[in-house]
Amino acid sequence: MANSDATLRDKRILLVIAGGIAAYKSLDLIRRLKERGATVRVVMTRGAQEFITPLAAGALAGGTVYTELFDREAEQDVGHIRLAREADLIVVAPATADLMAKMAGGHADDLAGAILLATRLPVLVAPAMNPAMWAHPATQRNIATLLADGIRLAGPERGEMAESGEAGTGRMSEPLAIVAAVEGLLAGGKADASENVADGKPLLGKHVLVTAGPTHEPIDPVRYIANRSSGKQGFAIAAAAAAAGARVTLVAGPVGLADPEGVSVRRVETARDMLAAVEIALPADIAIFAAAVADWRPAHEAGSKLKKDGSGIVPPLHVTENPDILATIAHRRDGRPGLVVGFAAETDDVLENAEKKLGRKGADIIVANDVSPANNVMGGAANTVHLVTPEGIESWPQLPKDEVARRLIHWIAGRLKPTA
Ligand code: C5P
């Protein structure tokens, strides 16, 4: 965090504290933000005051703590609209399930809700709740709505909860992790901390293997099963890895994209060909499986073109399962790449499904993206991704696919264990 002082100096943070046991960590968050030169204004919900006092928060922040929407004095002092505007960033920590439901629904019946509805500032939420509440479809729905509204997420993380015997995803991120997320947001996408590592070539001497594009699964010599993947994100990742100094092998399904500069490309058609090409390319330090591999293929490929003979009888299409390339490589005993990264293209419950996929496939990182048709990810130029790891979730704003690739490569490089 070499540049942390500069990023937060003279920045105005409005911190909204909601009612959860994690509120005690928000006192430390105030301190961490202030010691980096930020000014912090605090708003507390009713619930928050059950856990910590406005006096304690005010003493650390060095100012009034705002709690009431209909408080004549406070409204004359600054008013909720000014609170919503006079800052560089709003942080909600802890964000309870209830407050997030309010935000998703646009409720404004208390000061925190009114500010969050009236603001045009970037908002970062750090959720904290019981794992069952986090996993509930209602919370996941609300999170999806908030992310679609452009709100950024820090955490939650996995671990022990305050309640004894409870573990899972739901713990609020540590104050320093929230500070890092604040800095990332304030830096406005200019640079992430890991980018300062080395001289822009953090993957020098590493072999990176990337899969990209769809696969084509033949029905007969002229027909096949396919999907809408353009390969753009995977090709951009291969190019970014090469730019970061890596030796890169790209195993690409059928796409019309040119070979990225400095990348060794193997073109394949089917999932089985892709798996074979991946196995040949190993060993690798990092494997990034960005391909949209067909889950099924026709059980029998006809040797000649199937004919419509006028009888009205349609040929049956029996399918069989394709090998899962990511899971096969991630579960290898010998020769498993040091870091295995998978993608999860989802249309529903994006984060929950990505978390499940992490365990099921044996990946170290799942890059989740919402590919609902409304987002135009498949074939489009931009992508909104969430990085899901066993430690927690990090969400990035919508970015061009090239920028997602560049950041992802630097982020991954930052997670590589130093080689002995
Ligand atoms: O199960 P799902 O297709 O959503 O998983 C997505 C991840 O798994 C991606 O990283 C994709 O490249 C990989 N995958 C694979 N082989 C398959 C299916 C998916 O490598 N047959």
* Matching CATH number, 198-299+316-415, of 3.40.50.10300, 3.10.310.30, 3.20.20.80, 3.30.1950.10: 3.40.50.10300
How many CA atoms does the CB half-sphere of 63 hold within 13 Å? 17
Question: Is the whole model's pTM more than 0.75, yes or no?
Answer: no
Query: Average of pLDDT values for 36-57?
Result: 96
Cα 168 off chain centre by: 18
Ligand 1 center from residue 204 Cα (angstroms): 27
Q: What is the pLDDT of residues 204-255, one digit of tens each?
A: 889 999 999 999 999 999 999 999 899 999 999 999 999 999 999 999 999 9
Please name the residue that has the structure tokens 């490089």.
Answer: 413
The answer to whether 4-191 and 198-299+316-415 have equal CATH topology is yes
Q: How far apart are CA 108 and CA 86, in angstroms?
A: 19
324 lines ligand 1 (CB under 6 A): yes
Distance 312 CA to ligand 1 centre (A): 37
| Count of all residues that appear for the chain in the document | 420
- 359 or 420, higher pLDDT: 359
Phi, psi of 386 (to 5 degrees): -125, 130
CATH topology of domain 4-191: Rossmann fold (3.40.50)
Which residue in this structure is represented by tokens 């005051």?
49
Q: How far is the CA of 326 from the centre of ligand 1 (A)?
A: 6
271 ligand 1 Cβ < 6 A: yes
Residue 322 Cβ inside 6 Å of ligand 1? The answer reads yes
Q: What is the DSSP string of 360-395?
A: HHT-SEEEEEE--GGG--TTSSEE-EEEEETTEEEE
Domain locations in the chain as residue ranges: 4-191, 198-299+316-415
Extract the tokens encoding 293. 């591999």
d(CA 246, CA 21): 45
**413, 399, 345, 420: which is closest to 208 by C-alpha?**
413
Mean pLDDT of 189-195: 39
Q: What is the mean pLDDT of residues 191-198?
A: 38
Question: Tokens for 285?
Answer: 């330090």
Residue type (1 letter), 295: D
**Distance from C-alpha of 159 to C-alpha of 16, rounded to nearest angstrom:** 24
Q: Which of 64, 49, 69, 48 is nearest to 114 (CA)?
A: 69
Q: Within 13 Å, how many C-alpha atoms sit on residue 347's CB side?
A: 5
Q: Is residue 369 flagged as an active site residue?
A: no
pLDDT single digits (tens) 111-133 = 999 999 999 999 999 999 998 89
Answer whether 383's CB lies under 8 Å from 404's CB: yes
DSSP 262: T
**Does residue 193 register a pLDDT over 50?**
no
The answer, yes or no, to whether any atom of ligand 1 lies below 6 A from the CB of 344, is: yes
